[in-house]
Amino acid sequence: MDDDLRHVRTLLDKPPPADAVVHAGRDRLAAAVRRRSRRPVWLAAGLTLTAATAATAVAVATLGPAGDVRRPNVTASGPATDGPGPDATATPLDARTVLLAAATKADEQADQAGTYWHSVMLRRDHVRATSSAGDYIAVDERRDEMWTPNRPGLYQWMRRQNLGIRPATPADEAIYKRAGSPTTITFPRGLPLPAGPGKPDISRNKLTGRDAAVFWIGRNVSMKDLRELPTDPKRLKASLLRSYKGHGTESSGTPMGPDLWLFTVAKDLVTHMPVTPQVRGAAFRMLAGLPKVRAVGTVKDAQGRTGTAIGINEDSERGGLQQHRLIVDAAGGRALGEEVIALRPARSTAGLPRGSVVSSTTVVTLEWTHSPPR
């Protein structure tokens, strides 16, 4: 334990189809390659708002340029095998040390809640596309922005924008250009989708009664439930495991071991949910105690930021052997995002290169604010 703490101190010192059709097509495409977290059900109708967004923020923890809808330069963490991939720099620190360092920093942070929890996430799915010049890998990008109130009776808002589909690598781009740079992207299965970005789609949902339980941690919970989770890692683990039934978080037909299940749930807690900093610290400590979780190495997330990847493997008939990664900024006591790596592609990941990114979610902004979008 003394060695762990010494390592912690060392680390801390450093004419398109209708929008609804496009959205539905993209959702089906994404569902084919990733296990999606349970999301709230949004109203189908879009609402007209001005371009201004929430301006008054407290306890700001901005991880990137909020409000920037330009297409970012994707820097994947690189190929992965059963060990660190070529672009994952080996680190002498193990997963426990990295996670304890993040927990220590999280514990030091103040909890200053506002009226709304505001988050901006960039989501990317890597899929096989078809063309007259051959198949290639394409990246479908989406920006999700959400304002969730800290009490029932207020509206939860979501702004969603498809940022377009583009070739994943220069080699993929060469195939795409030989095919004439089509404005519609086709796939082995499913509807074709427009290559260009779409318009922002804005929706809202009033949180009352059972509708207030919009967060998913193996069960639906409310903002109040999240804020009251235990700050002791053992008690937090016991609280989460109340919902574990031996299968995945989304499907009762997919067996899943307890370590992977806890990793999946805790990953969401630390990446985008409005838990207190001390609960986030407890989640990091809980992850540090899972024997199947290990450090992959130093990586760059899809925004080009450096963090340490913590991973756990999953072998399934649906997607083959995959590595689920949590990218941790230990010195900041936070998570930068998550990604799934295809170690041995199969079925839903067939056609992707071995060691390539299947999907990623990058945290751009997390903050408390007093204002909804306007």
Tens digits of pLDDT across the chain (374 residues): 444 444 544 555 545 455 555 555 555 555 555 443 344 433 333 333 333 333 333 333 334 333 332 333 333 333 333 333 435 655 457 999 999 999 999 999 999 899 999 999 999 999 999 999 999 999 999 999 999 999 999 999 999 999 999 999 999 999 999 999 999 999 998 889 999 999 999 999 999 988 899 999 999 999 999 999 999 999 999 999 999 998 888 777 788 999 999 999 999 999 999 999 999 999 999 999 999 999 999 999 988 999 999 999 999 888 899 999 999 999 999 999 999 999 999 888 888 999 999 999 999 999 999 998 87
Residue whose entry in the numeric block shows the structure tokens 């620190």: 93
- Give the H or E element holding residue 343: strand 334-344
Instruction: Check if the beta carbon of residue 24 is closer than 8 Å to that of residue 160.
Output: no
Angle between helix 277-288 and 95-107 (nearest 10): 170
pLDDT in the model for residue 275: 97
Tokens coding 215: 């967060």
pLDDT in the model for residue 374: 73
Can you tell me the distance from the alpha carbon of 324 to that of 336, in angstroms, rounded to the nearest whole number?
14
CA dihedral of 330, 331, 334, 335, whole degrees rounded to 10: -50
Q: Give SS3 for 188.
A: coil
* Cα–Cα separations (whole angstroms), residue 204 to 120, 219, 341, 351: 16, 22, 33, 37
Can you tell me the distance from the alpha carbon of 226 to that of 265, in angstroms, rounded to the nearest whole number?
12
Beta strands in the chain (DSSP E): 57-62, 116-129, 136-149, 155-167, 184-185, 193-194, 201-206, 215-216, 220-221, 294-300, 306-316, 320-329, 334-344, 356-369
pLDDT in the model for residue 17: 52
Q: Give SS3 for 326.
A: strand
Q: Residues with Cβ < 8 Å from 205, sequence gap 6 or more?
A: 40, 41, 42, 43, 155, 156, 211, 214
Tokens coding 155: 């509206």
**Terminal Cα-to-Cα distance of the chain (whole angstroms):** 50
Q: Looking at the DSSP assignment, which residues form a beta bridge with residue 299? A: 307
Can you tell me the distance from the alpha carbon of 371 to that of 53, in angstroms, rounded to the nearest whole number?
8
Tokens coding 172: 């993929």
Predicted model pTM: 0.79
Q: Any idea where the domains of the chain sit in the sequence?
A: 15-369
